[in-house]
Amino acid sequence: MATPRRFLPSVSLLQAFESVCRTGSTLAAARDLDLTQGAVSRLIQNLEAQLGVGLFLREGRRLVPTDAALAYARDVVKALDLISRGSMRVRSNTGGGTLSLSILPTFGTRWLAPRLPRFLAAHPGVTINLGTRVRPFDFEEEGFDAAIHFGEATWPNAGFLKLFDEKLVATCSPDFLAAHPVSGPASLLKLPLLQLETRPTVWSTWFRQHGIEARPPSGMLFDQFGTMIQSAIYGMGVALLPEFLAKSELADGRLVNAWGLPTPGDGSYYLVWPKVGEWYPPLQAFRSWLAAEAADPDGEANLPG
């Protein structure tokens, strides 16, 4: 059954409403939308008339949004954002469709990006848009078609393709290791340990794997592996890194193994997508290609040509 038209206000009405709520006045909204103040006021009045409910309290020349209006504004912002994203996707569609993909920052730049030219060469009509997120999110709100996720297969209402497990290695710069000799895993408890904010227990897990139950000391906190890697190179401490992300630094000697063999991480890498969109053709193509790439995650990202 079709939605009654009174519950489908025009975009111009919704933009005026959102702008007034965001800027705090019809005057500021008029500047924001390049309209007159009177035009914004009329749009607000028309929206209230169409919905049959007052959205603002009039206090002199001020419009104060009601609690219901503020809740409605959150929904309107989401809807306008989805429309905008959809419009950009149509505009950038070159015949094969557009895939909006959320990536983990360092995974995206170091593992995925060097391989993407191969996918694009095989699917010249597909456009890929990338955005970075470090934690799970609501696909419907964010507008992504899929995401690269680290952890467990617990994303709600989503499909999963496991890419590969992770091996962690304790690394530091050669000069740091020379200045702080390590005789065993317990020695690391006396050193600055670099931490990733999305993995607060990873050092505790590493020490337990080496038979040590002591709580590791707090250290510098990072939001991305990329900055942690650079900090380790400059001698800021010991970084527990996924081996495949630090591959080039370990190979050229900018980083060295501080102690022990690579150990299993506490999660895996997945491609995740909302179930309602799992048959979207660009996603199907990307999913099949990524499964083949992940079969050899440590292999070189050979570019086409």
Answer whether residue 302 shows pLDDT above 70: no
Mean pLDDT within 91-120: 86
Shared domain check, 300 and 196? yes
Shared domain check, 192 and 71? no
Nearest residue to 229 (alpha-carbon basis) of 206, 201, 252: 252
pLDDT on residue 304: 33
Shared domain check, 268 and 223? yes
Give the whole-number percent of the chain exceeding pLDDT 70. 92
Assign 6 a pLDDT band (cuts: 50, 70, 90).
confident
Residue 178: both structure tokens together: 């020379």
CB 295 within 8 A of CB 165: no
Shared domain check, 100 and 33? no
Q: Give the pTM.
A: 0.70
Lowest-confidence range among 6-20, 90-104, 129-143?
90-104
Shared domain check, 64 and 199? no
Shared domain check, 216 and 120? yes
Q: Residue type at 115? A: R
* Domain CATH code at residue 255: 3.40.190.290
Shared domain check, 162 and 85? no
Q: What is the pLDDT of residues 17-51, one digit of tens each?
A: 999 999 888 989 999 999 999 999 999 999 999 99
Q: Kindly report the average pLDDT of the chain as a whole number.
A: 89
- Which 3-state string (H, E, C) describes the chain? CCCCHHHCCCHHHHHHHHHHHHHCCHHHHHHHHCCCHHHHHHHHHHHHHHHCCCCEEEECCEEEECHHHHHHHHHHHHHHHHHHHHHHHHHHCCCCEEEEEEECHHHHHHHHCCCHHHHHHHCCCEEEEEEECCCCCCHHHHCCCEEEEEECCCCCCEEEEEEEEEEEEEEECHHHHHHCCCCCHHHHHHCCEEEECCCCCHHHHHHHHCCCCCCCCCCCEECCHHHHHHHHHCCCCEEEEECCCCHHHHHHCCCEEEEEEEEEEEEEEEEEEEHHHCCCHHHHHHHHHHHHHHCCCCCCCCCCC
> Which position has the token pair 């020349």?
61
Shared domain check, 275 and 144? yes
Answer whether residue 78 shows pLDDT above 90: no
- Domain end position, chosen among 90, 119, 152: 90
Which residues span the domain enclosing 282?
Answer: 95-305
Query: Cα 295–300–304 angle (5° rounding)?
Result: 100
Give the whole-number percent of the chain exceeding pLDDT 90. 68
- Domain end position, chosen among 21, 56, 90: 90
Query: Cα 288–109–161 angle (5° rounding)?
Result: 30
Answer whether residue 88 shows pLDDT above 60: yes
Shared domain check, 49 and 192? no
Residue 124: both structure tokens together: 């010249």
* Domain CATH code at residue 66: 1.10.10.10
Shared domain check, 299 and 177? yes
CB 194 within 8 A of CB 231: yes
- Domain end position, chosen among 42, 69, 90: 90
CB 280 within 8 A of CB 93: no
Shared domain check, 272 and 216? yes
Tell me how many domains the chain contains.
2
Please give the Cα distance from 126 to 135 (Å, whole number): 26
pLDDT on residue 266: 87
Shared domain check, 117 and 70? no
Task: Tell me phi and psi for residue 151, to 5 degrees.
Answer: 140, -130
Mean pLDDT within 220-248: 96
pLDDT on residue 305: 31
Nearest residue to 171 (alpha-carbon basis) of 193, 150, 186, 189: 193
